[in-house]
Amino acid sequence: MKTYLKILISIIALLFATNQSIAQDVTKVHRDSLEIVVKKYYDLNLKTFQANSTIKDIDRIFELFTDSFTYIHPKYGGTYTREDLYNGYVRNQKNGGYNGEVTDIKVLNKIVGLNAVVVERIYMEKEGDGIKEGEARMTLFEFEKGKISRIFEYW
């Protein structure tokens, strides 16, 4: 009987250790996947900001968003629905607002939490014959089921 008890305790200890390892792996994968979505968001925006971008480039950005996505930017008008933001991107593109002036988007810092990522970033912009760094800006991304559900701009 003592042998069975020792075996049972050993099995329970092994299962507990395995479950903790799996939980840590899942947390790392979740964290990594949020960072990948944010990187993809910035990469797709950089492509859209170029003079030769297309509506398909804008559509690829919006594939990252939930259907109920909202964009909040108090300095520039408050809260925008997914449709409002999409129409703004299309309008900017048609009006020549995306002209290649932004040459890169650099992420300076980020904090990844449970279904959220906060990013400090700068735009690298053309200035004469050179490139200048824009102001540091802070953005909060919130996620639902691996997609961006809300972006809140703090600049």
Q: Evaluate whether 139 touches 121 at the Cβ level (below 8 Å).
A: yes
Question: What would the pLDDT profile of 28-61 be if each residue is shown by its tens digit?
Answer: 557 789 999 999 999 999 999 999 999 999 999 9
Quote the pLDDT of residue 1: 59
Rounded alpha-carbon distances, angstroms, from residue 98 to 15, 61, 70, 76, 128? 55, 15, 22, 18, 17
Q: Which contacts (CB < 8 Å, 24+ apart) does range 88-97 have?
A: 89/48, 89/58, 89/61, 90/55, 90/58, 93/48, 93/53, 93/55, 93/58
Residue type, 71: Y
Give the Cβ contact number of residue 148 at 10 Å: 22
Say whether pLDDT at 23 is over 60. no
Q: What is the pLDDT of residue 76?
A: 87
Distance from C-alpha of 27 to C-alpha of 149, rounded to nearest angstrom: 20
Confidence of residue 68 (pLDDT cuts 50, 70, 90): very high
The C-alpha atoms of residue 110 and residue 31 are separated, in whole angstroms, by: 12
Q: Which of 117, 155, 110, 151 is nearest to 135 (CA)?
A: 155
Q: Where are the domains of the chain?
A: 2-153
Cβ neighbours around 146 below 10 Å, total: 13
The pTM is what?
0.81
pLDDT digits (tens, 9 = 90+) for 70-91: 999 999 889 999 999 999 999 9
Fold assignment, 2-153: Nuclear Transport Factor 2; Chain: A, (3.10.450)
